[in-house]
Amino acid sequence: RGWFVGTPPPMDNHGLPALTMQDAGNGFRPIMMGTHGSTTMWPSGLALAATWDEALVESVGKAMGREFRMKGANVMLGPSVNVHRVASNGRNFEYMSGEDPYLGARVVKPFVRGVQSEGVIATAKHYAFNEQETNRGTGGPQGASSSDVDARTAWELYYPPFAAAVEAGIGAFMCSYNRVNGTHACENPELLNRDLKGIMGFKGFVMSDWGATHSTQGVAAGLDQDMPGSDAFFSEQELAGSFGHETDEAVLRVLSSMYRLRIDGRAECKPPACVDNIKKVTKTAETQELARKAATRSIALLHNDGVLPINPHKVKTLAVIGMASDFGPSREFMGVMPDYYAGGGSGHVSAKQVVTAYRGILERAKVAGINVVQTSNQKLEEAMRVAEAADAVVIVGATSATEGMDRKTLSLDWNVDDLIPHVAKLRPTIVLMQTPGAVLMPWRNKVNAIANMFLGGEETGSAWASVLFGDESPSGKLPIMMPETENDVNRPNPTISAYTEGLFTSYRSNQFKAAFPFGHGLSYTNFSYGYPQAYTEGCMGAACVSLAVINSGKRAGVETAQAYVHFAPDAKEPELVLRGFQKTRLLQPGESEQVVFTFTPRDLSIYSPAANGWVKQSGAEVRVGASSADIRQVVALP
């Protein structure tokens, strides 16, 4: 009672408050008895990535930071920014980069700015190469599994979101449990001192993940804070010997972050006298509305033959089927168990109640004058009976994931994959998915519409209703590739994870087939792309590409135009790499918006280990489209 997940004590004689640290998978994690439901259960980091909306992400970060401050916390143990490598990673729902470093870098910056604008230190984690939970801290010939990564792969694919956090002025980093090239991440001098503090120029402090410190030697490698500190590796006695200079630097880095965000002399409360703060209800009508907006704009419409939005003139009775359709939140005491709204583990935010898909659809259907019949019974006979009583069917399928283990399967729960084809034979069928990452859809060619939401938080049902009934046209885009089969993904390795595929993961690999490609997401309208112009004169970067995006359909909508760079063959890059995107305003039918992609020298460079840095390339072209597989225009750069 009155404590936080991490509480380095105050130094009252120096006017320094305690660092009050709390977990942050999708909001302030309430762990004190009686506080569940007192904070907003926000959409997951992966859901935020699916919005491709920097302004919205910053608004969520700011609101989340405000809740932390009101609860008495001055350090948020987030955001989680790793680029996905293993599709079954149990923490992919937390990782807001999805499968792409450029997308990650673009959304990480505004999130960090939003959080820290509230005077709360944000923490980039898990640094680095923590792309699987399998044996993340155990197993292997020397203990934790080792991520063995070459320099080019590190700098081009996995470092950019972390570097973006540094550029945004983030106050802290958290090093991970795994080994990197054989050495524990939290005592790896190449990882911490050379790459992070040296090349990236990070000025804040590095804390260990809880229990990830292995010796006092970590301070010499660049670790500044041992958490939770109970192992005595960073005790005064241990540090006083041979680590005087390193200890001074570690102290300076912690103080620098505290002073820069004006945490010095300001304490919302002093643990353990923080009970009243932690009990505060920080969830408001405003945070719930913002959570609904973010969840709605994260929805990616993957397939639609015209059945959506639901037409009340054609659909008088709507069936809602599936165990997940009205499945409530987990309510166990510690608040770590996953559900279909937030993933499990230290990143779980518990809620007393959520808007389930069924409840959200039911309320909106009443307004439209549509009758709703529902069953959570997964038995085929019951599902068929309910489907036959309706004009159209919504099947809600879901699965979740948790810290500490990777998913055993990419299938949806409750054997809903077997149910869907049978129901689809009877009535027009819409499948809604609530997922923590990639899933398989063996039935995708047998249904009328498919939409996905990545663990969207407490307003999940309200968001579904907004899109299903056309109150808002879907605008989310996949931040990952949805695989065609279980063979179209990377798998975890229990001992040594050799990143031998290099840059060729997700859409960058020509070995993997997609059911739905990276960047994909339909609207209720259509968009066409005008002829592109490439230029350097008057461009604020190394090169610019400009073109018009036109709403050529019959409904208002928002498009996210994506720019992929294709390098010359001798660069040995993937066929396409994302290097730009721009979300349009809401375009009415016939309206257009001029989109300008400004490419920096880094955007047009590759990392050369021989040159020990970035080398700008010539002969590149830009391919612009609605997804990585839907290229509409191509232009060579001058």
- Which positions are annotated as active-site residues? 209
Q: How far apart are CA 607 and CA 152, in angstroms?
A: 6
Nearest-angstrom CA–CA distance, 447 and 528 = 26
Rounded to whole angstroms, the Cα distance separating 387 from 424 reads 9
Report the amino acid identity of residue 498. A
Contact 325, 22 (CB under 8 A): no
Q: Encode 176-190: b = buried (16+ Cβ within 10 Å), e = exposed.
A: bbbbbbebbbbbbbb
**Cα dihedral: 348, 351, 355, 356 (round 10):** 60
Q: Which two structure tokens, joined as six digits, stand for 453?
A: 């939401």
Residue with tokens 């991520």: 147
Query: For residue 100, which of 164, 40, 56, 39 has the smallest C-alpha distance?
Result: 164
Q: Tokens at residue 538, please? A: 């008057």
> What's at 439, amino acid-wise?
V
Task: Evaluate whether 396 touches 358 at the Cβ level (below 8 Å).
Answer: yes
As given in the structure block, the two tokens for residue 420 are 């869907």
**The dihedral sign for the CA sequence 232, 238, 240, 242:** negative
Tally of CA atoms within 13 A in the half-sphere of 390 that contains its CB: 28
- Distance between CA atoms of 9 and 267, rounded to whole angstroms? 12
Could you count the other beta carbons within 10 Å of the beta carbon of residue 32? 16
Q: Exposed/middle/buried for 531, CB within 10 Å: 0-12, 13-18, 19+?
A: exposed
Using CB atoms within 10 Å of the CB of residue 244, give its burial: 0 to 12 exposed, 13 to 18 middle, 19+ buried.
exposed
Pairing status of strand 605-608 against strand 514-516: unpaired
Residue 114 is which amino acid? G
Please report, for residues 14, 22, 31, 597, the alpha-carbon distance to residue 77 in angstroms, rounded to integers and kept in the order given.
Answer: 25, 6, 15, 33
Give Cα separations from 424 to 80, 313, 322, 388, 394 (angstroms). 38, 21, 14, 11, 10
3-state SS track over 356-397: CHHHHHHHHHHHHCCEEEEECCCCHHHHHHHHHCCCEEEEEE
| Encoded tokens for 62 | 């700011």
Greatest extent of the chain over all pairs of C-alpha atoms, in Å:
79
Which residues sit opposite 550 in a β-bridge?
528, 592
CA distance 563 to 343: 31
Sign of CA dihedral 564, 568, 571, 573: positive
Buried b or exposed e, range 110-142, using 16+ CB within 10 angstroms: bbbbbbbebbbbbbbbbbbbbbbbbbbbeebee
Question: What is the C-alpha separation between 62 and 550, in angstroms, rounded?
Answer: 33
| CB distance 482 to 439 below 8 Å | yes
